[in-house]
A and B are shown apart, each in its own frame.
Chain A
Amino acid sequence: MTARIKRLSAFNMASVALGLAFLYLPIAILIIYSFNASRLVTVWGGWSLRWYQEFFNDEAMLAAAWMSLRVAFCSATAATLLGTLAAVALSRGERFRGRTLFSGMLYAPLVMPEVITGLSLLLLFVAIDAGRGFWTVTIAHTTLTMCFVTVVVQSRLNGLDRSLEEAAMDLGCSPVRAFIAVTLPLILPSVAAGWMLAFTLSLDDLGIASFTTGPGSAALPIRVYSEVRLGVKPEINAICTLVVAVVALVIVAASLASKLSSEQGESAAPL
């Protein structure tokens, strides 16, 4: 009976295949054309690496890429720390005063339009007279990405068997000790996955960075955006391919981490 209902119909197959083609085809084309020797982006002139060379000789683009990587690293680390703490509080803190506001502040940024978050942070930085640049972008990205970390880690914490922590404490562990010795190793894979999600989100962000960045310290997406507005350029294809490669590496690492996590128990939620 189950077999009949679970049967894979042609319709189901077709919708999955179409969906995946829709998702991947444009990116595949982009990657292929980044190796195009011709300057004309639509004429195939044979395989070549010249656009990659062009990128590695472009000081401004390299500076922007370096800035983006540094911001992504710092903000992902801070976001992982804060997001994990927030997840612990939400998942283990039972009811506490201000909990509703707390969870509201953590879930709202996930869907808040970037223009609102970006504008409001900028106005704060201007009001406290903070010089805009590396640190303001890092703070802005930490604020946004820690919410994603919280969701990932909280979902893992909620799936954990609490009797382990309780057993540790019954055996004389202090709560902090029990957390470090028992809980933390168990949630570590999803903490790592949270860090990687935060890293890629920061690397990708255009809207919030545009508001919070200062003159002369543009992150990579901002530079790419200003180029893209002028049309397709082969060098941009090469940069995009490199970003896709970095993100793909991070994802492979993350999926290994989540595999570890799912072998230890219930798998973490994807988002």
Chain B
Amino acid sequence: MSGRRIFTRPARLAAIAPYLWMALFFLVPFGFVLKIALSQTAIAQPPYVPVFDLTAGWSAFKTALSALSFDNFKLLASDDLYILSYLRSLVVALVSTAILLAIGYPAAYGMSRLPQRWQPVAMMLVIVPFWTSFLIRIYSWINVLQHDGLLNKTLLALGIIDKPLAWLATDSAMYLGIVYSYFPFMILPLYATLSKLDDTLLEAAADLGCSRLKAFWLVTFPLSLPGVGAGVLLCFIPIVGEFVIPDLLAGSDRMMIGQTLWLEFFTNKDWPVASAIAVVLLVVLLLPLLVYEKLQRRHLEARG
């Protein structure tokens, strides 16, 4: 016990460098996003009018405060383009997460029922694509889905369709891409929970006359809920901000908010509006983010 006491002090000192790093490069930048979201757009480099200069002192700060511009946020609230983008992002994230859960749960369950020595192998097979570039994975689907791609060829050869169908630039292609990219994020936490379940509970349920289906519903499923929660958050939050997958696979008529931000920033060079979009997106995601952070912390610290 004496050792533990002495150890905590240097361990806390170890926090200093990563603490400063994260504060400087993760926390402080959000301040700049907020600041620029409240500035006026300008045609300049960088393309915004700074709202205040901290070196000018308190009185300057006060005058600057009164000059803060909420125009960008008003624009977001008044223009359908932005509201529809936010809504589309939420809908896409919800639908994709539901599909992921529907596919991922049986797969994770199947993996956890594999013979013990096969489980690490199956695990590895799921992780490998997660480590391969996601851009490559999306690109590989373009190969399959394009007009004269493998999917159309196969369907034509099988006589299921008469002429090639348009798969690319559709919502189905986008959902396929999202589900494909986020599959490991769903299956890993699910598997982690399911594989740790105590089998004696199922035996007890069977001894008490439960059918296997009923035992699953009454025992396995409720106990796997923490894994379900982690998987859902791990997929939902990043999907809301997704821009590459819809950009490459979905049609260009409707955009997700990540694409709109990208467009405002890189094409229209409207940094203040892009920043305002980011601020609102962050606020929308704050609740799921907090829940996720709490789950993650509890998971890692419970093992200590």
Segment 226-250 of A: residues with Cβ below 8 Å from B:
228-229, 231-232, 236-237, 240, 243-244, 247-248, 250
A216 on the B face (CB < 8 A): no
B222 on the A face (CB < 8 A): no
Residue of B nearest to A31 (CB): B140
CB distance from A161 to the nearest CB of B (A): 12
A22 to B11, CA, bound (A): 44
Given contacts A94-B8, A105-B23, contact A151 B293 (CB under 8 A): no
From B3, B10, B140, B293, A103 is in contact (CB under 8 Å) with: B293
Segment 153-173 of A: residues with Cβ below 8 Å from B:
154-155, 158-159, 162, 165-170
Residue of B nearest to A139 (CB): B25
A232 to B146, Cβ gap below 8 A?
yes
Main secondary structure of the interface of B (DSSP, over half): helix
Q: Number of residues in B with C-beta < 8 Å to the partner?
A: 107
A33 on the B face (CB < 8 A): yes
CB distance from B54 to the nearest CB of A (A): 11
B275 to A119, Cβ gap below 8 A?
yes
**Contact residues in A for B43 (Cβ distance below 8 Å):** none
Segment 141-155 of B: residues with Cβ below 8 Å from A:
141-144, 146, 148-150, 153
A26 to B281, CA, bound (A): 32
A93 to B8, Cβ gap below 8 A?
yes
B238 to A26, Cβ gap below 8 A?
no
A175 to B10, Cβ gap below 8 A?
yes
Segment 175-194 of B: residues with Cβ below 8 Å from A:
180, 183, 187-188, 192
A139 to B30, CA, bound (A): 16
A102 to B300, CA, bound (A): 14
Which of B14-22, B58-66, B70-78 lines the interface with chain A? Answer: B14-22
**Contact residues in B for A91 (Cβ distance below 8 Å):** 11, 304
**Contact residues in A for B300 (Cβ distance below 8 Å):** 90, 151, 154-155, 158
A12 to B12, Cβ gap below 8 A?
no
Residue of B nearest to A147 (CB): B22
A131 to B122, CA, bound (A): 45
A179 to B13, CA, bound (A): 13
Given contacts A8-B113, A232-B146, contact A197 B131 (CB under 8 A): yes
Given contacts A120-B278, A151-B300, contact A270 B240 (CB under 8 A): no
B142 to A228, Cβ gap below 8 A?
yes
**Contact residues in B for A18 (Cβ distance below 8 Å):** 107
B267 on the A face (CB < 8 A): no
Q: Give me 19 A-to-B residue pairs in the complex whose CB atoms sit less than 8 angstroms apart, sorted by A's number.
A: A2-B199, A13-B110, A15-B110, A20-B122, A20-B126, A26-B144, A30-B139, A30-B143, A105-B23, A106-B18, A106-B22, A112-B237, A112-B289, A116-B278, A158-B304, A162-B4, A165-B7, A232-B143, A240-B133
Chain B residues at the A interface, C-beta cutoff of 8 Å: 1-4, 6-12, 14-15, 17-19, 21-23, 25-30, 32-33, 36, 46, 103, 106-107, 109-111, 113-115, 122-129, 131-144, 146, 148-150, 153, 180, 183, 187-188, 192, 199, 202-203, 206, 212, 233-234, 237-238, 240-244, 247-248, 258, 261-262, 265-266, 271, 274-275, 278, 281-282, 285, 289, 292-293, 296-297, 300-301, 303-304
Chain A residues at the B interface, C-beta cutoff of 8 Å: 1-2, 5-6, 8-9, 11-13, 15-16, 18-20, 22-27, 29-30, 33, 41-42, 82-83, 85-86, 88-94, 96, 98, 102-117, 119-121, 123-124, 126-127, 139-140, 142-143, 146, 150-151, 154-155, 158-159, 162, 165-170, 175-176, 178-179, 197, 200, 203-204, 206-207, 210-211, 221, 224-225, 228-229, 231-232, 236-237, 240, 243-244, 247-248, 250-251, 255, 269-271
